[in-house]
A and B are shown apart, each in its own frame.
Chain A
């Protein structure tokens, strides 16, 4: 049901520019106004959210440790520097692996229950499917985003844009060159989507807001592919428009067809949706306190900005006052010998 809702939304989103451009002739509106506004909302929303996180305190160092810590004898007990970092540099590499290789996800296991010989067996096996799907999807998306820089830069720098273009198109199938990342993105989205639809537990935890971004990105990918391989849009004209956007000399050449406006509208929707959704995991992963802090709080002093100095231990003096008599009888030393005298005797 949630998936159907999302699909319906995406259809509606396609219809808006389809009719808006052709029927209502709002070419400047869809070519300039919408993407510019979307970009501004994206930037402001993104920054606002990251600043909100940044203003929230990190009172304690709470890294989840995934291996041996730096012991008193690093030779005898070898530290796992990547999963249990103690220095800034080690933590940096932990984050690099987390962000570029999805290391935690790589660790994923799957549990299953079996009837063993006369007794139950709980088994675990490595399960890297999600890691594979996710990494295919994210890298494809990333490369495609970088490739699009060619539309906004003049001259086009070889690194990384031109080089990516070359590597990405290395499997030359047909003309124009087929990009691996195009395939990767579509396949990646379909696998992630399929997972949500097919696996009962994942399906159970999926909202509209989980399906919608996947379907939206799929529609963006398909509209892009359509433009490139089938509609063969006028790329020169499009570059005129996009360069106009970044240099504030807005032009909307007549030779641009509606498929481009649909593509741009969907991308704009994604930009607007981004800061208000779970897609913020992209900047969020950098800030996670269980991953981006070294495991050094027993060795180094850190400060909790809201530590309340008024909270103090129950005073020993009060403790001795309360238990002094039996303590004295038991032969435990007292700070104040008077506490050891029974009350009635003390009064007498």
Chain B
């Protein structure tokens, strides 16, 4: 990260004036830092065995090389694949035809706002594909190529796709503002499907995909290791609360199957959120189990192609059937919930076993008709219902050292409409809650710039540029209200917002929503907590029975 400019310098380098050359003539920068590493050949070989014909030839290649070792018939493959998808997706066909280039989307993309690169304007990002559509499939485009902005498929075009369609996090913010609802996420998904056909992919997507298929989660945690990690967290919960919680794994005969993104199991600060779930469920004595086989809610298949998305999603129902669970409770995750909400039932709903029922809270009796088809409930819906029915004893003052804001994750916000439930939960578990400016939250929320498989360090500068809008809004509430924690409901957020905050709003930490729930949850009468879920002392307990010293102070 040493060659990344300081925040102020980076900010000054942003220029919204387009270059003098037309966009088709402007060369693409293929130097390292502008792309993620391609997938290791063994990952592709493995997936090709599971879902043949979608991956092209497994090979070693680098985007900075002149030769990308494309298969001989690459053009035919891509053009035919394009034609096929125009029939399979009305969205694609329509979005190719109806854009008027009004430019309403131009300054809505976080990558454009942070880079000024005109190809990051959603309209131009889509034109990368549309120009080929016109050149290859329309009469007007074939005859009047120059005048209609069309071109034929060439190697340079495909290379340009690779850079820019892996510089889109499918956050759909542009779609909200488009007068026709043109959704760049749809086009990015299609472009990526086409690129996969000829072996253009990234390891940060393909490794999780293949891991998910083998081990059940994208980090490749094997079942026994998964159990170890959960046991550690049970120990940690005991350390904080004095309570030894149950953490059932792979157990048959429970009512509820709980599935969360594996980022919550593995990475800091997701683990604190995971501890929050465990504590809450134990407090409620919930009849549930988790699974090591279906140990991933996130679906990296949705960054790859429809087939993998379906294959990975199918695990949830398969495991519900094997374990005999009636419904599924889902943890805090962004794109997992876009898949669950908009795709899951249509893709794999017919594989539900007969014992599945519409989710009904065993604590409050509330029946969640909103999830009647998928049988899958979002944890913030579940918890909000508990709070509403006064089933949780909460002491929000335990979060008084935190001044909290909430980052709407793109997918739940714009692909679902889940806006109020997490806020309701947060406002009941902490006393200091502050909203960021309206143009940066709810349906207008800005992406963490690491979604859709871009959460990797080799493109850190691009991520930090894309993180400018979110980071700047955070900086605003940090200055106005002393905000020192940003809560979210997405595991990718919990990973990517940390470097983003360190860069644009240093001093703000990131957490999941249920970490704060766990902090506030009063397990029994008169319970006194001296530390929060991170085992950091609560105010007033800094010295008592506690040998913990912040590492930075130790150095000083």
Contact = CB atoms under 8 A, between A and B. Distances in A.
B18 A204 contact: yes
A255 interface: no
Contact of A104 (B172, B178, B314, B340): B178
Interface residues of A, number: 102
Interface in B306-327: 306-307, 310-312, 314-315, 317-319, 322
Contacts of A76: 384, 388, 420, 424
Contact of B140 (A65, A108, A120, A277): A277
B147 A5 contact: yes
B346 A303 contact: yes
B94 A330 contact: no
Interface stretch (B57-65, B190-198, B248-256, B511-519): B248-256
B138 interface: yes
B315 A67 contact: no
A64 B183 contact: yes
Nearest to A102: B179
A61 B216 CA distance: 27
Interface in B162-194: 172, 175-183, 186
Interface string A271-305: 00000111011001101111100010111111110
A281 B227 contact: no
A290 B98 contact: no
B219 to A, nearest CB: 15
Interface residues of B, number: 129
B180 A314 contact: no
B293 interface: yes
B420 to A, nearest CB: 4
B503 to A, nearest CB: 12
B409 to A, nearest CB: 13
B266 interface: no
A122 B92 CA distance: 32
A58 to B, nearest CB: 5
A314 B346 contact: no
B417 A295 contact: yes
B399 to A, nearest CB: 22
A297 B102 contact: no
Contacts of A319: 214-216, 293
B144 to A, nearest CB: 8
Contacts of B228: 330
B424 A83 contact: no
B437 interface: yes
B468 interface: yes
Contact of A327 (B50, B186, B223, B307): B223
Most buried by A among B144, B223, B372, B413: B223
Interface stretch (A27-35, A145-153, A205-213): A205-213
B89 A72 contact: no
A330 B223 contact: yes
A205 B385 CA distance: 48
A166 interface: no
A167 interface: no
B240 interface: no
A326 B222 contact: yes
Interface string B1-12: 000000110010
A197 to B, nearest CB: 13
A259 interface: no
Contacts of B178: 104
Nearest to B378: A298
Given A205-B127, A297-B342, A121 B472 contact: yes
B176 A66 contact: yes
B157 interface: no
Interface stretch (B117-125, B279-287, B486-494): B117-125
Contacts of A285: 98, 179-180
Contact of B11 (A49, A120, A329): A120
A80 interface: yes
A287 B315 CA distance: 33
A111 B340 CA distance: 33
B342 A62 contact: yes
Interface in A177-218: 199-210, 212
Contact of B181 (A291, A313, A335): A291
B417 A67 contact: yes
A329 B227 CA distance: 11
Contacts of A203: 18
Contacts of A313: 311-312, 314-315, 317-318
A332 interface: yes
Given A57-B87, A64-B172, A72-B370, A280 B97 contact: yes
Contact of A56 (B87, B251, B347): B87
B113 A331 contact: no
A311 B314 contact: yes
Contacts of A295: 416-417
A124 interface: yes
Contacts of A270: none
B133 to A, nearest CB: 12
A120 to B, nearest CB: 4
A85 B437 CA distance: 25
Nearest to B318: A313
B345 interface: yes
B319 A72 contact: no
A201 B118 contact: yes
A276 B342 CA distance: 32
B385 A73 contact: yes
Contacts of B261: none
Interface in A235-282: 276-278, 280-281
Contact of B421 (A77, A202, A290): A77
B313 to A, nearest CB: 8
Contacts of A330: 223-224, 227-228
Given A208-B147, A300-B372, A278 B98 contact: yes
B50 A68 contact: no
B363 interface: no
Given A73-B385, A276-B140, A301-B345, A316 B322 contact: yes
B103 A314 contact: no
A316 B420 contact: no
Contact of B91 (A58, A301, A308): A58
Contact of A331 (B227, B307, B315): B227
Given A53-B94, A69-B418, A107 B370 contact: no
Contacts of B345: 297-298, 300-302
Nearest to A111: B107
A130 interface: yes
B541 interface: no
Given A73-B388, A104-B177, A298 B374 contact: yes
Given A98-B181, A278-B100, 19 more contacts: A61-B342, A65-B417, A72-B367, A72-B370, A107-B177, A200-B17, A204-B22, A205-B118, A205-B121, A278-B101, A289-B90, A301-B346, A302-B345, A312-B314, A313-B311, A322-B214, A326-B224, A330-B223, A332-B292
Q: Which 4 A-B pairs have the closest CB atoms?
A: A69-B417, A284-B98, A290-B181, A208-B147
5 contacts: A64-B172, A71-B381, A72-B369, A276-B138, A288-B94
Interface of B: 7-8, 11, 14, 16-18, 22-23, 50-51, 86-94, 97-104, 106-108, 113, 118, 121, 123-124, 127, 138-140, 144, 146-149, 172, 175-183, 186, 213-216, 222-224, 227-228, 249-252, 292-293, 306-307, 310-312, 314-315, 317-319, 322, 340-347, 349-351, 366-374, 376, 381, 384-385, 388, 413-421, 424, 437, 439-440, 442-444, 468-469, 472-473, 475-476
